[in-house]
Structure 1
Amino acid sequence: MKLRAVIERITYQNGENGYSILKARVKGYDDLVTLVGNMLDVTVGTVLIADGQWKVNRQYGSQFVVESYEEAMPATLFGLEKYLGSGLVKGIGPKFSKLIVTKFGMDSFDIIEKDSQRLGEVDGIGPKRIKKIHDSWMKQLDIKDVMVFLQGNGVSTAYAAKIYKAYGKESINKVKANPYCLADDIWGIGFKTADSIAAKMGYGKNDVRRCRSGILYTLNQLVNEGHVYAHRDQLVEAGVKLLETDKASIKSALDQMIAAEGLKTEDEAI
């Protein structure tokens, strides 16, 4: 189910994973609707197009559980003013929000993003505030772009928030270059999750980055079973089974890891 919601109030928000409880105005509902889910840096005034489902909480009643979302721009001058005055954009409060929207109308967002020096036409806004406003706006655009990219590649909103916290505006480049780095860097994302993301991005079964990550996953599984080392043939066979690939690809990745000292070897072990 899809809802278009205008955020009216933030009841709770976790800065680490983005988990939020929000009150929103939704067309067709007289009372504010409660939205729950991982929604990173969403503020009062934000317009969300949210996909999810309804559930009934015994204590809090009906809630809409957000599974994925994207931000939409406000469609009215009132919405623009409320959005800009919400605290989302550093350097703009309710006073300057009203002045900016009065001056630039529906072009306000474009002015901030593409021609921010024109903000100096508004009484009380000087060079320092212009820079603060523009920098804050661009950061929000980075977050939106990252969330759209990650959700488009099968990353849940919870993991997307963690990824942005770890990589910031470099998130898209990092994940494009090697989605398997997620298994190394992001707590809670293991090899299988990273592999699913990589598959959606078009990574082949024989890709060396996939083989490397699969080998490390296999070693970790052996450690969890109480082993302290693995034989080379053992790793190759396990890698072929796990990754459904050929021995040559696994052997090549293993040789590269040994050469780069990513794995320690001894004659009687690997």
Structure 2
Amino acid sequence: MTEEIQGIVKKTIFSSKDGRFCVFLIEEKESGKTVTVSLNSELPYIGQHVLLRGCWFKHPRFGLQFKAQQMQAFVPEKSEEIRKYLSSGVIAGIGPAMADKIVDFFGDKTLKIFENNIDALLDVPGIGPKSLKKIKEAYDEVAGLQDIILFLQSVNVSEKFAADLQTLYGEDLDIILKEDPYQLLHDIPDMHFQDVDKIALAMGVSELSADRISHGIKNALWYEYSRGNSCAPKDQVYQEAAAMLGLSYDSVSTIAADFTGRDKPDELIHEGISYFYLPFLYEAETDSARRIRKLLDMEPEGRSVNLSLERFEKSNFITLEDEQKDAVKKSLDFGLVVITGGPGTG
């Protein structure tokens, strides 16, 4: 059963280097008690007001904890909350002493000053043009990350991807999301098709757009690849893509029939059945077939195999087993030999 708790982040316990897992303490809003929270996402900032959705569980070593599945962050409103927030180092160039000066000067309006008139920080004793420039740059980065987190939350995608999106795309993120949201599939590790598809739909991509259906078909082929298949029958791929996209088979097959260029999957017909491939698998499989055909068409070697083997053994100071010699002879006679053996047998 999913529960909700709210509170102020008080202390960091652990944060993974990749920013995908953290443990921290919050002061719960209703009870005032300190609660340990674990979250598969970026670490929130000290002093940040957060709403957490998840469930309670008892850790065998560390006792009762709240395992959060989602986190919604709020901007601190009260002076003391803002003071803790700025003192945490969330904005480069502002430490505890500077945070005190800023909050003492602006009070509850501090973060509104940051948002609407950040140049007013020059009125705070100790902040000059150079300091202001550094604070501005750091604040823009933090504000940008918060915007990304709020967007991901709004489309029900984990906020753990926010840092990757900001680091990779920076100011170009809006352009990427509007013009080619499915690019995220290639650029963001661990981001699944369902996540990217939610983002694409939220950005205005039509459910029946050719681009969406093309990526759905490619994702179905990647699914088949994960199951050990280099290809799959066209009808099966359409069915799997339709299920992933929440569309009918007819919608997918009808729109896909008009695909050209990069949208059209590599296709091969065998015994009257059409099979779809991912490009690199189509290339690998057809190239393997060409190589095998070339080997099968080779003429047998006319030279003495036994003499060649003797010279090889002498020059390499080894003695081949009869089975090894037999394999060499057959490869020269037939062009292609399949050799099998247990792991490590060479």
TM-score interval, normalised by the smaller of the two chains: 0.7 to 0.9
Residues 1-270 of structure 1: pairs in structure 2 closer than 5 A: 1-29=3-31, 31-195=33-197, 198=200, 203-224=205-226, 234-235=233-234, 238-243=237-242, 244=248, 245-253=251-259, 255-257=260-262, 263=279
**Where in structure 1 are there 5+ consecutive unaligned residues?**
none
Larger relative CO (CA 8 A, sep 6+): 1 or 2? Answer: 1
Is the contact between residue 17 and residue 158 of structure 1 (CA under 8 Å) also seen in structure 2?
yes
Indicate if the aligned counterparts of 2:21 and 2:43 stay in contact, CA closer than 8 A: no
* Percentage identity across paired residues of the two chains: 25
Q: Which has the larger radius of gyration?
A: 2
Report if aligned partners of 1:146, 1:171 keep a CA contact under 8 Å in 2.
no
Q: By how many angstroms is 1:183 displaced? A: 2.6
Is the contact between residue 7 and residue 44 of structure 1 (CA under 8 Å) also seen in structure 2? yes
Secondary structure of the residue aligned to 2:219 is helix
1:252 is matched by which residue type in structure 2?
A: D
Q: Which amino acid aligns with 2:12?
A: I
Instruction: Supply the distance in 1 between the matched residues of 2:210 and 2:231 (Cα, whole angstroms).
Output: 22
Q: What is the deviation of 1:167?
A: 3.4
Aligned-partner Cα distance in 1 for 2:141–2:263: 40
Q: CA deviation at 1:115?
A: 1.6
Partners of 1:113 and 1:134 within 8 A in 2: no
**Secondary structure of 2:258's partner?**
helix
RMSD value, Cα: 3.1
What is the alpha-carbon distance in structure 1 between the residues aligned to residue 176 and residue 126 of structure 2?
40
Cα pair distance change 1:62/1:235, threshold 3 Å: same
Question: Residue 132 and residue 260 in structure 1: after superposition, are their counterparts in 2 closer, same or farther (change >3 A)?
Answer: farther
CA offset at residue 101 of structure 1? 1.0
Does the 8 Å CA contact 1:19/1:37 hold for their aligned counterparts?
yes
Q: Deviations over 1:72-101 (max 9, x none)?
A: 222321112111111011111111111111
In structure 2, what residue type is equivalent to 1:257? R
Rate the CA distance shift 1:17–1:249 in 2: closer, same or farther, 3 A: farther
8 Å CA contact retained: 1:36, 1:65: yes
Greater shift, 192-201 or 32-41, is seen at 192-201
Of 236-245 and 210-219, the range deviating more from structure 2: 236-245
Q: Work out the CA distance in 1 between the residues paired with 2:17 and 2:264.
A: 41
Q: Quick check: 1:17–1:162 contact (8 Å CA) kept in 2?
A: no
Structure-1 separation of matches of 2:264 and 2:217:
15
Which amino acid in 1 is paired with 2:237? A
TM-score by length of 1: 0.82
Give the direction of change, closer, same or farther, for the CA distance of 1:136–1:95 in structure 2 (3 Å limit): same
Query: How much does 1:138 deviate?
Result: 1.8
> Which of 121-130 and 41-50 deviates more?
41-50
Q: TM-score by structure 2 length?
A: 0.66
Cα distance in 2 for partners of 1:80, 1:71 equals 14
**Number of residue pairs matched?**
264
Structure 2: how far apart are the matches of 1:134 and 1:84?
A: 14
User: 1:146-190 CA deviation, whole Å, 9 max, x = no partner?
Assistant: 111112112123344544444345445434444433332222233
**Distance in 1 separating the partners of 2:238 and 2:265:** 19
CA deviation string 1:209-258 (max 9, x = no partner): 2222123224434545656567xxx44662355223342311223x1316
Structure 2 contact 214–263 (Cα < 8 Å) conserved = no
**1:210 alignment partner AA:** R
